């Protein structure tokens, strides 16, 4: 293990944010009969901290939130020849850090029991929309950082008792949805995303605990399908992801999920001709991923899931082309992946415990069509360690 060595001679930043009994409501609405393009965005946050630094820094950040955050973005169109982008983002506590040449970070994020965070993005179409992307993303606690070179030590604590909901809707029951239509609903109780470039070496210590219900939904209803239709839903009690290049990547700590996790993706469509439909849903109690290029990696977590995880992918269609449905549910899931042309080592010390029901369902129906495939997977505990050589294929 390595640690940052610059603590004595760098600027120290202390950040404290408390938002109690919050009532954060954001609404973005747009309506047009005919247009070449639209973009509606709603962003709601109880606490937000952003650090963008070009020298090594020590950072200590504490965020606490209770109450309600609700973001609603709605686009209503008659005919749209271009693209409609509708985005709703809702966060209780949010921290974003970008530093050159290394950093030490201690971060605490707390979302109180009984709180709620929601994001809802809706596209209404009465005639047609040629292209559309409808995205809802919500998290009680969200941390992200990017390091360019140097040594990084991250000590991250996230605790949430908040209910989190993300809903993405495309509603065009008597209309067409053109060449492409994408709906994404992504909900997280606690989320950590860490990236490193230019030979950054990163040690990440996490302590994540979620007790709130987490629900992600993506729903498309259309009179006719688009050439490429995608409904994607995801829900995680706790999630941590590290993406690193040409440096050491290290992840250890604890993830405990006690909140029910629900992910639902559904498409209801009339005739969809030669079109392609993709419907995917993933629900995970505790999720951890390391993706490292050109360096060793260590994955050492204690993952405990005590609440039900449910994932559903559904299609109800008339005559059509090709349809693919995927539903995946995990109590605990951990993946360590290394790609390097030089010899590397994947280290691991994992402990996974699941004590709850894990359910995955695929349900597809259409009158006639080119073909339909469906895959439903439910796993209590899953741990994967993989190293590959980009030139040998293994």
Q: What is the mean pLDDT of the chain?
A: 93
**Average pLDDT of 140-167?**
97
Which residues are CB-neighbours of 190 under 8 A, at least 6 positions away?
Answer: 109, 139, 140, 141, 158, 159, 160, 208, 209, 210, 237, 238, 239
Contact 67, 23 (CB under 8 A): yes
Q: What is the pLDDT of residues 120-142, one digit of tens each?
A: 999 999 999 999 999 999 999 99
Query: What is the pLDDT, as a whole number, of residue 361?
Result: 98
In this prediction, residue 3 has a pLDDT band, given cuts at 50, 70 and 90, of very low
Confidence grade of residue 272 (pLDDT, cut at 50, 70, 90): confident
Per-residue pLDDT reduced to its tens digit, 229-260: 999 999 999 999 999 999 999 999 999 999 99
Question: How far is it, in rounded angstroms, from Cα 126 to Cα 181?
Answer: 15
Residue 9 CB contacts under 8 Å (≥ 6 apart), including other chains: none
Q: What pLDDT is attached to residue 1?
A: 35
Give the pLDDT of residue 394: 55
Residue 144 above 60 pLDDT?
yes
What's the pLDDT score for residue 353?
98
| Residue 371 backbone class (left: φ over 0; alpha: ψ -120 to 50; beta: rest) | left
* 334 touches 301 (CB < 8 A): yes
pLDDT tens readout for residues 339-379: 877 788 889 999 999 999 999 999 998 888 788 999 999 99
Percent of the chain with pLDDT over 70: 96
Rounded Cα–Cα distance for residues 373 and 326 (Å): 9
**Distance of alpha carbon 165 from alpha carbon 155, whole angstroms:** 27
Instruction: Quote the pLDDT of residue 11.
Output: 60
Distance CA 128, CA 81 (A): 8
pLDDT digits (tens, 9 = 90+) for 40-92: 999 999 999 999 999 999 999 999 999 999 999 999 999 999 999 999 999 99
Structure tokens given for 147: 């390091």
Structure tokens at 13: 């930043």
341 forms beta bridges with none
Question: How many CB atoms lie under 10 A from the CB of residue 241?
Answer: 17
- pLDDT recorded at residue 179: 93
d(CA 16, CA 19): 10
Bridge partners, 363 (sequence order) = 314
Model confidence pLDDT, tens digit, residues 102-113 = 999 999 999 999
Rounded to whole angstroms, the Cα distance separating 147 from 165 reads: 30
pTM of the predicted protein model? 0.94
Conformation bin of residue 228: beta by default, left when phi > 0, alpha when psi is -120 to 50 = beta
Reported as a single tens digit per residue, the pLDDT across 188-244 is 999 999 999 998 899 999 999 999 999 999 999 998 878 899 999 999 999 999 999
- In whole angstroms, give the CA distance from residue 376 to residue 361: 6
Q: Is 154 within 8 Å of 194 (Cβ atoms)?
A: yes
What pLDDT, on the 0 to 100 scale, is given for residue 2? 37
The 3-state DSSP class for residue 162 equals: coil
Give me the pLDDT at residue 5, please.
40
Q: Is the pLDDT of residue 6 over 70?
A: no
> How many angstroms separate the CA atoms of 373 and 358, rounded?
22
């Amino acid at each position: 293990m390595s640690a940052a060595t610059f603590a004595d001679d760098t600027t120290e930043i202390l950040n404290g944010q408390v938002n109690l009994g919050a009532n954060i409501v954001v609404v973005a609405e747009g309506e047009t009969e005919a247009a070449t393009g639209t973009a509606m965005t709603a962003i709601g946050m109880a606490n937000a901290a952003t650090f963008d630094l070009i020298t090594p820094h020590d950072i200590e950040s504490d965020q606490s939130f209770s109450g309600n955050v609700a973001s609603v973005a709605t686009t209503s169109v008659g005919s749209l020849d271009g693209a409609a982008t509708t985005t709703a983002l809702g966060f209780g506590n949010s921290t974003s850090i970008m530093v050159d040449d290394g950093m030490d970070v201690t971060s605490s994020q707390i979302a109180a029991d009984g709180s709620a965070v929601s994001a809802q993005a809706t596209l209404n179409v009465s005639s047609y929309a040629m292209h559309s992307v409808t995205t809802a993303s919500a998290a009680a606690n969200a941390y992200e950082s990017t390091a360019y070179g140097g040594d990084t030590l991250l000590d991250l604590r996230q605790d949430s008792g908040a209910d989190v909901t993300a809903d993405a809707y495309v509603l065009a029951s008597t209309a067409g949805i053109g060449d492409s239509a994408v709906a994404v609903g992504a909900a997280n109780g606690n989320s950590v995303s860490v990236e490193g470039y230019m030979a950054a070496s990163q040690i990440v210590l996490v302590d994540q605990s979620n007790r709130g219900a987490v629900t992600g939904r993506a729903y498309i209803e259309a009179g006719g399908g688009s050439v490429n239709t995608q409904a994607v839903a995801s829900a995680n009690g706790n999630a941590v992801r590290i993406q690193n290049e040409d440096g050491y990547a290290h992840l250890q700590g604890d993830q405990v999920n006690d909140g029910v996790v629900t992910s639902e993706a559904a498409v209801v469509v009339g005739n969809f001709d030669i079109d392609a439909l993709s419907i995917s849903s993933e629900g995970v109690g505790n999720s951890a991923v390391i993706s490292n290029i050109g360096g060793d990696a260590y994955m050492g977590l204690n993952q405990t899931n005590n609440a039900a995880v449910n994932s559903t992918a559904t299609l109800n269609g008339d005559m059509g082309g090709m349809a693919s449905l995927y539903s995946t549910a995990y109590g605990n899931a951990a993946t360590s992946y290394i790609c390097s042309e030089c010899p590397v080592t994947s280290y691991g010390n994992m402990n996974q415990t699941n004590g709850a029901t894990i359910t995955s369902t695929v349900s597809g129906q259409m009158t006639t069509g080119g073909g339909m495939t469906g895959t439903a997977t439910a796993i209590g505990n899953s741990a994967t360690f993989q190293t590959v050589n980009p030139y040998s294929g293994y």
